[in-house]
Amino acid sequence: MTATHQSRSTQRPQRWLPLGPETWRIDLLRIVLRISAALGVIVYVPSVYFANESGMTSVVVLDTAAIAAILGLSYAVSLPARLRAICTCLVFYLLGAGLLIAIGAISQIYLFGFSVLATLLLSMRWGLATAALNAATMLAIGYLGRAAPEMVVPRWTFDYAGWTVITANFAMVNVSLVVAMGAVIAALETALARANDARDLLRIAGLTARLGGWRIDVARQHLVWSDEVCEIHGLPADRQPTVDEALAYYSPEWREIISGAVARCSREGTPFDLEAVIVTAKGTPLWVRAIGNPHCNDRGVVTHVHGSIQDITPQKLAEARHAKLEAQFLQAQKMETIGNFAGGVAHDFNNLMTVVLSYAELLAEELEPGDPMRVDLGEIRSAGLRATGLTRQLLAFSRRQVLQPKVVELGEIVAGMENMLRRLIGEDVELATSCAAQLGKVLVDPGQIEQVIMNLAVNARDAMPQGGMLTIETKAVALDEPFAAEHAGIHPGTHVMLAVSDTGTGIDKATQARMFEPFFTTKERGKGTGLGLATVFGIVQQSGGTIWVYSEPGKGTTFKLYFPVAEHAEPPRASVAPAARATLHGTETILLVEDEEAVRTLIRTILTKYGYNVLAAQNVGDAFLLCDQHPAKIDLLLTDVVMPRMSGRQLAERLSPIRPDMKVLYMSGYTDDAVVRHGVLEATLAFIQKPITPEPLARKIRAVLDASG
Ligand SMILES: Nc1ncnc2c1ncn2[C@@H]1O[C@H](COP(=O)(O)OP(=O)(O)OP(=O)(O)O)[C@@H](O)[C@H]1O
Ligand SMILES: [Mg+2]
């Protein structure tokens, strides 16, 4: 505040000494000319009168010429300042030299004046040059015998040496005077330049950091703002509002707090440091940091409150963005942990269900058609299937189910589901779809995306018990850097968006934070399992997409799913012909590799039952050994995908040179990222999903064995 105050006062010259800090030489010239003109006119009349009386015509001519020149220069404001300064100095020189001849020694004073003026108006170098010119003039006048008669000192008889000494003394004083003045001026100019630099840098710092100072005179309740504070408030630089006007810029919820802090600081000297929102003169809301400190007099009474105001809007926005991203990151981490846990449980559970279901089926086949045990086995089977459904959802959530992606138009999937969705949501809910054609294709598993849309639609229906509107929209969107910066997991670029909106109850923040967790439901017992959104989340993530929810209680909900546009055409499908034979039996040799003993035994039992010759291996090493020991043809390798030490895929690749004709069928409850990238099995490979049950396995095996190539 003080610095700015000073800078303003230095810019404006004071009335009694009208010299500007930067323009002082020009200002000085103007003063000198004005004074010389005014005094010159007064002095001119008596000087000319006495000179005339004494018959000194040359003096009359000199005085007249000098005053005319001074008056002329006073009015010749259009001439360049430096030229006017040189001419002014010359007038004094010519006057001094002329009078030295006409009047005598006393006239040396004019030559002094000439030097002083040249130093002040031009520079020290000019001053020194004029000192030399003065000395030369004096010598010349003396040597040429043109000095006025009384210049001859009474006790001295005039000689060249004496005159030289007089000149030397004059020159010494003249030079000292010029150097002294020059040094003072140089020192002042250096100090001034430094002060100007400091002021300018302070201003640059203030403008860059959007930071300014302010001061309140407590007794007068008078406020001063720096230019930067005016700028922050959207006001012109020299606007100085009153204290009340300044407080009125704070938004209502902060005004009391700030005015209270200022009052306390004025009264008790309590400093403050607050962050608040102002609304500028242009109507823009800004976050500012206002710091205030007391300034006390000798008696400890607070005379001023002063401090700073800084626009901290960019920092505040960055903080908010950071907090949002951090929350998103924590949420993603939480989902990852739950996913790992759920996926692990589901995987083992899946293997157990394979055994339960398959033996139930095998047992059922052993029984006579009318056997009452068949009913019990049917119960076991249906409970097992429900459990399998549950595990499949958990695997979907943990992104470990096997997807069979195709390049598709999302709009076509939605269009194909419309009738089914209408039946699903009932008559009270209206369905509107808006699917732009040719959005760009995406690489997803169509069956799974149908599952996603269905789960979202069912949730929407449940949120609109009194009826409402369900809107499903697909469109192409270009997500830019700023959007990606605020949404963890999104990469900038073209995406296809699928939005499912309802006009239902909306979702509060607490539910939003947990709704993607498996088994989280707000529905009453028996109404919801809480696996709907968990499945949606897993499928979308595993398909390389992201999901965002926008909802406000009472205003409905929109789920937005973004999928990256597929750049490559769909991979060719495996040409697995349907089983042509009526029978599912076969006599081929199958090398079975499965590390889980119960599953291995089960599959061996099933395959043997269907007539196959089974070589069962518990691990990769056994598989190689069996290959070695079995000289005859092995028709099919049936292998688990995820096994210790070597994946099923790697095993198949190793065996292929030894057994080039051997076909391969993979089986898995889930895929592991390390084995099959992103859990997506290549579409060209034959695959069967666990849990494995006898008939589908036999059918698949026949299909692979009978496929050409
Ligand atoms: N469109 C929606 N409107 C309001 N709340 C919703 C909406 N979608 C989800 N929710 C909330 O999120 C919770 C979790 O949804 P989710 O689909 O995972 O489970 P659920 O619908 O309760 O059960 P499930 O889908 O397994 O039958 C719901 O219980 C509900 O509170
Ligand atoms: Mg649901």
The predicted-structure confidence for 105-127, as pLDDT tens digits, reads as follows: 666 777 888 888 898 889 889 99
Among protein residues, the one whose CA lies closest to atom 31 of ligand 1: 522
Q: How far is the CA of 527 from the centre of ligand 1 (A)?
A: 10
Q: How many residues does the chain have?
A: 709
Query: Is residue 528 in contact with ligand 1, taking CB distance under 6 Å?
Result: yes
Do residues 571 and 683 lie in contact, with contact meaning Cβ atoms separated by under 8 Å? yes
Among 229, 285, 278, residue whose Cα is nearest residue 250: 278
Q: Is the CB of 538 under 6 A from ligand 1?
A: no
Pick from 414, 406, 402, 412: nearest CA to 542: 402
Which residue from 625, 635, 632, 631 is spatially nearest to 591, judged by alpha carbons? 635
Does position 26 have pLDDT exceeding 90, yes or no? no
Least Cα distance to 561 among 461, 486, 482, 456 occurs for: 456
Helix (H) / strand (E) containing 190: helix 160-208
Nearest CA to ligand 1 atom 20: 530
Q: Please report, as a single letter, which amino acid is at residue 589.
A: T
Query: Which pLDDT belongs to residue 681?
Result: 57
Best probe residue, ligand 1, of 386, 429, 471, 515 (max atoms within 8 Å of C-beta): 515
Q: Is 459 in the pocket of ligand 1 (CB under 6 A)?
A: yes
Ligand nearest to the CA of 512: 1
The bridge status of strand 429-435 relative to strand 468-479 is parallel
CA of 215 to the centre of ligand 2 (A): 61
Tell me, in angstroms, the distance from the centre of ligand 2 to residue 459's CA. Answer: 5
Fill in the amino acid letter for 73.
Answer: L
| C-beta 532 within 6 A of ligand 1 | yes
Instruction: For ligand 1, pick from 397, 521, 540 the residue to mutate: most ligand atoms within 8 Å of CB.
Output: 521
Please state, in angstroms and rounded to a whole number, the distance separating the CA atoms of residues 414 and 434.
Answer: 9
Q: 406 C-alpha vs ligand 2 centroid, how far in Å?
A: 26
pLDDT at 325: 87
Residue carrying the six token digits 């108006």: 121
d(CA 451, CA 460): 14
CA of 398 to the centre of ligand 2 (A): 17
Q: What is the pLDDT of residue 150?
A: 62
- Which of 302-306, 419-423, 573-577 shows the lowest mean pLDDT across its residues? 573-577
H helical segments located in 515-569:
532-542
CB 224 within 8 A of CB 207: no
Q: pLDDT tier at 24 (50, 70, 90 boundaries)?
A: confident
Q: Give yes or no for residue 261 CB within 6 A of ligand 1.
A: no
| Rounded Cα distance, 138 and 104, in Å | 11
The residue ranking higher by pLDDT, 180 or 490, is 490
Most ligand 1 atoms within 8 A of CB, residue of 519, 527, 533, 558 to mutate? 533
Peptide bond into 691 cis (omega under 30): yes
Q: Is the pLDDT of residue 156 over 60?
A: no
Q: Which residues are CB-contacts of 591 (< 8 A; sequence separation ≥ 6)?
A: 615, 617, 623, 626, 627, 634, 636, 637, 638, 639, 662
Measured distance CA(344)–CA(338) in Å, rounded: 10
- Give residue 675's pLDDT: 43
Ligand 1 atom showing the smallest separation from residue 529 Cα:
26
Q: What is the pLDDT of residue 431?
A: 94
Q: How far is the CA of 526 from the centre of ligand 2 (A)?
A: 12
Q: 425 CB less than 6 Å from ligand 1?
A: no
Please report which confidence band the pLDDT of residue 54 belongs to, taking 50, 70 and 90 as the band edges: confident
Q: Is 511 in the pocket of ligand 1 (CB under 6 A)?
A: yes
| 429 alpha carbon – ligand 1 mean position (Å) | 17
Q: State if residue 521 touches ligand 1 by the CB under 6 angstroms criterion.
A: yes
Does ligand 1 have an atom closer than 6 angstroms to the CB of 533? yes
Place of tokens 């008696």: 299
Pocket probe mutation, ligand 1, options 335, 459, 471, 527, max atoms within 8 Å of Cβ: 459
Tell whether the model's pLDDT for residue 505 goes beyond 60: yes
Atom 8 in ligand 1: residue holding the nearest Cα: 459
pLDDT of residue 22: 75
**Lowest pLDDT segment from 184-193, 266-275, 680-689, 691-700:** 680-689
Contact 429, 468 (CB under 8 A): yes
Cα–Cα distance between 698 and 598 in angstroms, integer? 18
For ligand 1, whether the C-beta of 624 sits within 6 Å is no
By the 10 Å C-beta count (0-12 exposed, 13-18 middle, 19+ buried), 607 is classed as: buried
Which ligand 1 atom sits closest to the C-alpha of 518?
18
Question: Does ligand 1 lie within 6 Å of residue 530's CB atom?
Answer: yes
What is the C-alpha separation between 347 and 341, in angstroms, rounded? 10
> Rounded to the nearest whole angstrom, what is the distance from the C-alpha of residue 396 to the centroid of ligand 2?
14
Question: What confidence category does residue 155 fall into, taking pLDDT thresholds of 50, 70 and 90?
Answer: very low
pTM over 0.85: no
Q: Note the maximum CA span of the chain.
A: 164
Question: Stretch 608-621: mean pLDDT, rounded?
Answer: 92
Mean pLDDT for the stretch of residues 70-84: 92
Burial of 358 (0-12, 13-18, 19+ CB in 10 A): buried
